[in-house]
Structure 1
């Protein structure tokens, strides 16, 4: 069967995914097509068109459409029940507008989808509750037969956290937390208080936390008995009363701000550990599958993995709302009897461009380029000489992490690269860290307590003997948000790192997403060229070709 998965357009990160015979064959985020960061509440029509076209499937052959959110009528019921449960007058006032917005957004989604692909108008729509879709995106892609399941985000229809377990393809929900207990809401409040943009800059809060000390106890977040609780109105009202030191954009970041970020990060990690402990206590399972926007917090994930009751962990690379398109499609496939066993061991499910398409774009734009005999060797040579490169290869990643499909690369052994890339290329705060992409077989040599990390969603402490040689990709606390690269999942990226190791002795490169500040990751060759020429990149390895600016390498 062919199932088209969609993120509901009430979500912040919209996407589409295609599942055929129980296996994912394509997935992409709408932001990459329309170039609007996160594409909030924008129907993922172009992403859906791509998924079908890339698989060679006519819209008429789609069996059903799966949406990662409850139906409008069920949402109205769940929202009403949640409001009644909270007994909050403020929630009563917001319920009707929220339901009306979802109905309007769902109408827009259908109309735009049917305008683009009229054949879909006759297809059956199946609505999968938001946190079930998140859960399915993790456990149905993990390869685990038995696993605990943890979902935590801002909120779904009425809840913000869900714990459960899966066994032989069946999910059982153990517990859920209402929207007023949202860990995502707490972290977004913190992000806003620190003068950053909520829903977008939570990664800044996590990065800033390493510069501080957890001095604020956050007593309102009570952690106990394998769970946590907060006062019902805390996120909306109490938080702002407890911490009235609002920073505005452009203001100096003080030690108070750094300590507050560290305090919230510390408590988030404790809450995450408690939830994982609660699942283990009730199931005995030592594996865990994670999804939801909060699990993009790789420091929390790492702390969970370090617990003695966790042996294995799987984190959906599109853990934010985009992943619900994948989860909804996989869940409906399972409900319809499609075979299970799919393992999502890489994130390369987006568009790719042939050598002919790339060369045509280079020729059309009159950009001087060369075609080296070995693009892997040519790239490794340039990196070893201190150039900053755009790396545009193969299928585009899904999720917020660049994993060697659409990346900006540099030499991690040159400590100044961190400042150079932040200032000249990414145009962002100088304290923000980068990540290393390392050969999987070298991970144990480079970091302590290594574990497969294909999606860059775990952090590890760099071994002392490697801190200088990974200086540009290591955070202030000596941790790295590493990606382990295998030949099976990305042979060209692996081969390039291998050749870089042969030149420098370092089996890793510094990696960050191929985009400028405030923009989505590049998708097409044209996107890559725009970013290349509007930033301080020195060279671009795009398919089989290399484009260079006339600036000499630092050692030339």
Structure 2
């Protein structure tokens, strides 16, 4: 069976092709339009994927989409709002505000954490007096906090309901224009996330955890995947109890762009002291064994109120650590309840590599896998897996690699270089040449083979440099026009994984896709300081000779020259 998967149109629109239960092609619209997280109907990706795959649209059996019809999604949104109106959150919010009073006082609180040194970076938020008044009016009492949350939630519902109906019409119009509307099959959002994680894990049996901002009325789901059976959902948590929204509000409060810069907040958190505000932040989390409910999620002003007295890194650290502890407790409960020790993860929240490390370290967990296209951009693949499952032909398998995008011939590349009037030279053994250049402190951009699927650069569209220079995170990010608090990720030869990363057994498969951090060994810190964060962790891509022979050969040639099996690896994003 040939299935076309389409991700949600609201951001990062992506098209994928599945043949007999395997992903064979996946192209994100942003890679062709050059607009980050491109939304709308993926016209460019649609045309490109059929052209490159050599498939005629008439050959497609079904089109899978991971949201219900717009009116159904709108009804779910308003059902969630009515349920939230009837909830009593007073006890939790009172505990939060009592904790705030204990640490209240005049003036700003110096961070006991590490200083953040970036040109132009300010540790504290600078706000005029009107903002001070606004944040205190909306967040400094239980009643104000609750009311602000509900008003902003109501406004979100209005916009979200309209948006879902708009995206639904856009999807149907686009498919109708192409004569493909009758092939459309819609599936539940979080079930598609669970399918993504389970069916690419290779596990016979797994506990599936999906965590994101919102999807089909829910924010997270716990499920079980077993070979030969449909995925079974055990528990769902409704919106607005969303760690995705929680992190979006934090990102905005600290002066960054929600849905874009959450990774910066994760990097920033390592510089802060989580204990200063832990009681305050965690009091907003209503934790039970099977789930976490978050009170006041939609009150964006609460985190902004904290920034008036505390550094950005301390606010970030408290929120990050509170989330890690809460989610880990939920994972521990479900591992004990089900007896399943393999955990698979999907959803935008598990783009948070440090959270994934904490889940892997949770008592009872033996193996972990994070789907490489963990966010909604990868969700068309999960929807397609569900249709394969319904047809009775889906089993969990391991990904050889995630190079599912287009590749270009030598003639095509030559024409583009000539058009751009760039000088070039052809080398028969280009991997050895790259190793020579990088060994001599030259930054190398690598464009090779098929493009990666998912948000990570994994060696085929990659900027490389040696990781021995700790200043590279500053000067290379400046040249790329970025500001990052987390260091560049390392690409390491798979066979040297234990020499560089601690406690990696059980997560070595998922580490091939740069989806999790590990504590680093002394050897890694000594040889590759540029790739190790201030907390002693790194988020590696483990490279095997089978998954990417050419990139592995580059690393091997670099090791032959330097004795080090690692290079830093970052994307072309600017």
TM range (shorter): 0.7 to 0.9
CA distance in 2, matches of 1:13, 1:246: 31
1:26-59 deviation line (CA, Å, top 9, x unaligned): 112111111111013x112222332322221101
1:233-283 deviation line (CA, Å, top 9, x unaligned): x0123x623651458xxxxxx972111111111011112212211221221
1:225 paired with 2:289, answer yes
Alpha-carbon contact 2:208-2:223 (below 8 Å) kept: yes
The 5 Å alignment of 1:397-546 reads: 397-424=452-479, 426-429=480-483, 431-450=485-504, 451-452=507-508, 453-516=511-574
CA distance in 2, matches of 1:78, 1:226: 22
> What is the deviation of 1:180?
1.4
Aligned to 1:199: 259
CA distance in 2, matches of 1:479, 1:98: 37
1:327 paired with 2:382, answer yes
> What is the deviation of 1:366?
2.7
Aligned to 2:21: 22
CA distance in 2, matches of 1:365, 1:164: 51
Go from structure 1 to structure 2 and tell me whether the alpha carbon gap of 1:263 and 1:329 turns closer, same or farther (over 3 Å shift): same
Aligned to 1:105: 167
Alpha-carbon contact 1:4-1:48 (below 8 Å) kept: no
Specify which of 335, 339, 342 is matched with residue 280 of structure 1: 335
1:310 paired with 2:362, answer no
CA RMSD, Structure 1 to Structure 2 (Å)? 1.9
Alpha-carbon contact 1:185-1:235 (below 8 Å) kept: yes
Aligned to 2:36: 37
CA distance in 2, matches of 1:290, 1:299: 13
Aligned to 1:167: 226
> What is the deviation of 1:311?
1.0
Helix, strand or coil at the partner of 2:231: strand
Helix, strand or coil at the partner of 2:272: coil
Which piece of structure 1 moves more, 446-455 or 497-506?
Answer: 446-455
CA distance in 1, matches of 2:231, 2:71: 24
Alpha-carbon contact 2:267-2:484 (below 8 Å) kept: no
> What is the deviation of 1:205?
0.3
CA distance in 1, matches of 2:486, 2:289: 35
Aligned pairs, how many? 501
CA distance in 1, matches of 2:566, 2:330: 34
1:52-79 deviation line (CA, Å, top 9, x unaligned): 2222110111111110111224323322
Helix, strand or coil at the partner of 1:324: helix
Helix, strand or coil at the partner of 2:311: helix
Q: Structure 2 unaligned runs (5+)?
A: 87-149
CA distance in 2, matches of 1:38, 1:95: 22
1:5 paired with 2:5, answer yes
> What is the deviation of 1:337?
2.5
CA distance in 1, matches of 2:273, 2:158: 42
CA distance in 1, matches of 2:21, 2:250: 40
Helix, strand or coil at the partner of 1:164: strand
Helix, strand or coil at the partner of 2:240: helix
CA distance in 2, matches of 1:478, 1:281: 30
Specify which of 328, 348, 364 is matched with residue 293 of structure 1: 348
Aligned to 1:528: none
Q: TM-score, normalised by structure 2?
A: 0.84
CA distance in 2, matches of 1:124, 1:431: 45
1:160-190 deviation line (CA, Å, top 9, x unaligned): 1111111124211111111111011111111
Go from structure 1 to structure 2 and tell me whether the alpha carbon gap of 1:153 and 1:53 turns closer, same or farther (over 3 Å shift): same
> What is the deviation of 1:94?
5.0
Aligned to 1:267: 322
Go from structure 1 to structure 2 and tell me whether the alpha carbon gap of 1:229 and 1:431 turns closer, same or farther (over 3 Å shift): closer
Alpha-carbon contact 1:59-1:119 (below 8 Å) kept: no
Alpha-carbon contact 1:439-1:497 (below 8 Å) kept: yes
> What is the deviation of 1:106?
1.9
Aligned to 1:244: 305
CA distance in 2, matches of 1:462, 1:92: 45
CA distance in 1, matches of 2:523, 2:70: 56
Alpha-carbon contact 1:69-1:133 (below 8 Å) kept: no
1:138 paired with 2:194, answer no
CA distance in 2, matches of 1:403, 1:22: 23
1:211 paired with 2:209, answer no
Q: TM-score, normalised by structure 1?
A: 0.86
> What is the deviation of 1:8?
2.3
Alpha-carbon contact 1:386-1:414 (below 8 Å) kept: no
Go from structure 1 to structure 2 and tell me whether the alpha carbon gap of 1:243 and 1:102 turns closer, same or farther (over 3 Å shift): closer
Aligned to 2:244: 184
Q: Structure 1 unaligned runs (5+)?
A: 248-253, 517-556
